[in-house]
Amino acid sequence: MSYNPIDNRPVQWYAGARKKERRCAMTSSPTPMTRGYIMTLCGGLCWAIGGACGQVMFRDCGITSDWLVPIRLFTGGIITLLIAALTGGKPLEPVRCRDAWPSLLVFALLGSALCQYSYYSSVQYANVAFATVLSYCSPIMILLWTIVSTRKKPHAYELASVALVVLGAFTCVTHFDMNTLAVPVKGAVWGLISAVCFAFYTVSPRKLMQRFSVLSVTGWGMTIGGAAMLLVFRPWRMEGIQFGGKLWLLLACVIILGTVLSFSLFQSGCNIVGSLVGSVLSSIEPVGSVVISVLFLNTTFSWLDILGFFLILVTIPIMAIGKAKEA
């Protein structure tokens, strides 16, 4: 065994010390891709909490998606823009650039307003778990867009992940019986519309977020979409709403967790991991929805429902491993 002449320690000791230092560096400072995974997953979980709170509000407080979504989006957008201003995000830049308005309007009206209205309508007519699962048919649309826009063949793990997500959603909705849907027709239709709009929400703001801050683009998308819905639905004229502490507490959770944090975390994560990977990773949302539904909303599921959820969830490690090998 050879020794260092300065401190008489074995040379192998230095090799071990260097390995330990590298391990510490890896654990103390996660890579950007890891941060992207974490932000996307956390965004999905926040959406699950917001959806569950919305279901309780529909059931106990006498509201509908016509009342909840406009207030949620507009208020959440204003809060997000204030956070952008306080953190140096320059929130006025996107609206000052005329060439950014077409993309911003598509993002606001289709990606934010219609996406959230269709999702909460699906929750209203079905339940939060099924609405969430149906909305995750969007990866197949994003995959097609990615193939067309980049002119690159998709990787095998991307095709497998998209196929599993679609099969999982199909299993939950039909229970393999095309004659009888396991959810109400209105709930299924709104859920599929939500999937299309979620694809717009994921893909449309990418170029905008390369020019402006994530919080600014996300905030304006919610504010403009929410303002348009306020003018259409006029929630202040609706009757039969049971105002009280329960409604305001649930509304606060929907706005803070299910809107401000979820939208911002998801878009920040997608900026790192990409639209397709982000849309698949955010399928962690159905898990949160199922757990919350079982524990707090007294929802029951069959073994086919659990199978469908599993098929969707297994795409998360498939995507993570595939991206790691690709890198």
* pLDDT digit string, tens, across residues 152-208: 788 888 888 878 877 887 787 677 776 655 667 888 888 888 888 888 877 878 788
Could you give the count of Cα atoms lying within 13 Å of 163 in the half-sphere of its Cβ? 8
- Of the pLDDT bands very low, low, confident and very high (cuts 50, 70, 90), residue 14 is very low
Percent of the chain with pLDDT over 70: 83
User: Model confidence at 24, in pLDDT bands (50, 70, 90)?
Assistant: very low
Tell me the pLDDT tens digit for each residue of 195-249.
888 888 778 787 888 888 888 998 999 999 999 999 999 988 888 888 899 999 9
CA distance linking residue 258 with residue 212, whole number of Å: 23
Least confident of 35-39, 177-181, 281-285: 177-181
Decide if pLDDT at 30 tops 70.
no
Predicted confidence (pLDDT) at residue 11 exceeds the cutoff of 60? no
pLDDT confidence of 18, banded at 50, 70, 90?
Answer: low
Q: Which residues of 7-41 are buried (b: 16+ CB within 10 A; e: fewer)?
A: eeeeeeeeeeeeeeeeeeeeeeeeeeeeebbebbb
Kindly report the number of other CB atoms within 10 A of residue 178's CB atom. 8
| Distance from C-alpha of 68 to C-alpha of 122, rounded to nearest angstrom | 13
- Rounded CA gap, 36 and 64, in Å? 34
- Which comes out higher in pLDDT, residue 133 or 159? 159
Q: What is the mean pLDDT of the segment spanning 299-306? A: 80
According to the model, what pLDDT value does residue 26 have? Answer: 47
Give the Cα separation of 209 and 324 in Å (integer).
Answer: 25
Lowest mean pLDDT segment, chosen from 13-17, 46-50, 215-219, 260-264: 13-17
